[in-house]
Amino acid sequence: MRFWPAPARTVAPARPAAPRDLSHQIDEGFIVALTAVRLSVKNGVIMRTVRDGEPWNEAEASDLARRAISALITELDETATRLSHDSDAAAPTERASRTARSRRELARIRHGRDEVVRLSARSRTLRGVVERLRAAHDDETIVRDLALRARDETLSELMQARLIPRAQRVPVSDEEHREAVAGVKADLQRLLDERTGY
């Protein structure tokens, strides 16, 4: 008969899954990067059209795409460099690997090695995406496609916004306006009181 609980079994932490094929990861990263570039171009086109009242200009939209690609290349390149440094910092030293004896020390060494693998894989993936983006920056077909797709998405969004029915404005007196604002403030204060307990 046991008077104390059985010691809990220690479960080894799950090892990270083996990284997928590098070329597949680069392909996925490149698709995500191009989507980000297209959104940036679309926002630029919207700003020029709505805010500045400028007409559509394919050359300027293509220039927006090139600038967005350049900015993303710089950002991803910096991130890849930082991950490389983090990978070097995470690597256990040879001395620590040789002298590790306790379970905790061995787990720390194993975790450090797993972290090196993970960070190195991310860095290699980002560098591959950067190379693909550099090629895209100089490819007129890709740049034009980004500009035209951004134009089409902008037109679609502007048309949808224009077609949304707008309710007519209801005129209110100054007194009614003050009462409405006071009611909103009271509701917000009540919610704040309920949330914080004050």
Write phi, then psi, for 43 (nearest 5 degrees): -60, -40
Does pTM surpass 0.85? no
Return the number of other C-beta atoms located less than 10 Å from residue 29's C-beta: 19
Predicted local confidence at residue 178, as pLDDT: 84
Distances, alpha carbon 125 to alpha carbons 39, 94, 194, in Å: 22, 27, 48
Domain boundaries, the chain: 22-165
Residue 154 burial class via C-beta count within 10 angstroms: exposed 0-12, middle 13-18, buried 19 and up: buried
Q: Cα separation of 104 and 102, whole Å?
A: 5
Predicted local confidence at residue 11, as pLDDT: 40
Per-residue pLDDT of the chain (198 residues; tens, 9 = 90+): 444 444 444 444 444 444 568 889 899 999 999 999 999 999 888 888 777 788 888 999 999 999 999 999 999 999 888 888 777 666 666 665 666 666 776 666 676 666 767 778 888 899 999 999 999 999 999 999 999 998 888 888 777 766 666 667 778 888 888 888 888 777 777 776 776 654
Predicted local confidence at residue 176, as pLDDT: 84
Predicted local confidence at residue 14, as pLDDT: 46
Predicted local confidence at residue 150, as pLDDT: 87
Report whether 137 contacts 143 (CB < 8 A): yes
Predicted local confidence at residue 15, as pLDDT: 46
Predicted local confidence at residue 41, as pLDDT: 92
Report whether 142 contacts 136 (CB < 8 A): yes
